[in-house]
Structures are given as structure tokens and as C-alpha cells.
């Protein structure tokens, strides 16, 4: 299934989903789907979070806690769930704070295996 179709399937299945994306740790977007305009710049959010994720990944390696798999970030306005796809790429789902976090997290995890295979 093409990246865009997989991301679209995720956001269309999760109440409160704003966007889903595949991005490199250097902040370069590979593919993204935006289903609803947010009150903030989703592009800026994803680039800034890519930088944060790179630091988290580095910290996990330093403390030898195993490979990073998932990070969730909660703010007053959003939930962001990130799944590592490989050494260079991650997938993220951005949801409204009142969105269905559990379903979003589950679907992103479920679909991340196919995304990783497609990107290999």
C-alpha cells in the first residue's frame, strides 16, 4: 500500500486526527496527510519535533536502554504519537487533545510495520 494511502487510512480512522506523516530525523518530510487545519503550524511542529526526537534517540543510545520504538507528546492542544520506522525515518500522528489517543496509538503501531517495509 502506498505511503499516502496508509497515512490516509490512519487519519480517517481516528477521531480528532489532524495529520499523519513520515519524516526523516533531519526534518525533511517524506509524505504527509493533513485532514484538518490546526490552530498552529503543523509543518513547524513536525520539523521541531524531529529535532527533539533525534535528541531522545541519542539519549536512549547513550544510556543503552535498547532501541527507541515510540514517543508520545501531550500538550494542551495536541497528542503527538511517533513510531520509529528505521534509523533515518519515523511516522507521526498528530491529534487534537480530545482525539482518540488509544486508537491512534494502536493504528500507528499496527501500520508502522508496513510503512517500514515499504521504505526499505
Map out the domains of the chain as residue ranges: 3-119
- At residue 40, the pLDDT reads 76
Q: Average pLDDT for residues 9-21, to the nearest whole number?
A: 96
- At residue 86, the pLDDT reads 95
CATH class of 3-119: alpha beta
Estimate the share of the chain in helix, then strand, then coil, as percent rounded to the nearest 5.
40, 30, 30
Contacts of 18 (CB under 8 A, 6+ apart): 11, 34, 35, 36, 38, 42, 78, 94, 95, 96, 99
CB 14 within 8 A of CB 100: yes
Task: Report the DSSP pairing between strands 89-96 and 70-74.
Answer: unpaired
Q: What pLDDT, in 10s, does the model give residues 48-91?
A: 999 999 999 999 999 999 999 999 999 999 999 999 999 999 99
Say what the pTM is: 0.93
CB 53 within 8 A of CB 82: yes
Amino acid at each position: 500500500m502506498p505511503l499516502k494511502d496508509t497515512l490516509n487510512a490512519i487519519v480517517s480512522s481516528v477521531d480528532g486526527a489532524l495529520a499523519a506523516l513520515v519524516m526523516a530525523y533531519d526534518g525533511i518530510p517524506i509524505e504527509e496527510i493533513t485532514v484538518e487545519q490546526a490552530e498552529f503550524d503543523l509543518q513547524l511542529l513536525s520539523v521541531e519535533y524531529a529535532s527533539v526526537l533525534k535528541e531522545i534517540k541519542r539519549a536512549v543510545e547513550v544510556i543503552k536502554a535498547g532501541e527507541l520504538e515510540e514517543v508520545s507528546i501531550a500538550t494542551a492542544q495536541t497528542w503527538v504519537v511517533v513510531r520509529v520506522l528505521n534509523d533515518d525515518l519515523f511516522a507521526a500522528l498528530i491529534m487534537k487533545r480530545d482525539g482518540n489517543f488509544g486508537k491512534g496509538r494502536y493504528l500507528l503501531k499496527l501500520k508502522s510495520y508496513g510503512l517500514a517495509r515499504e521504505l526499505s
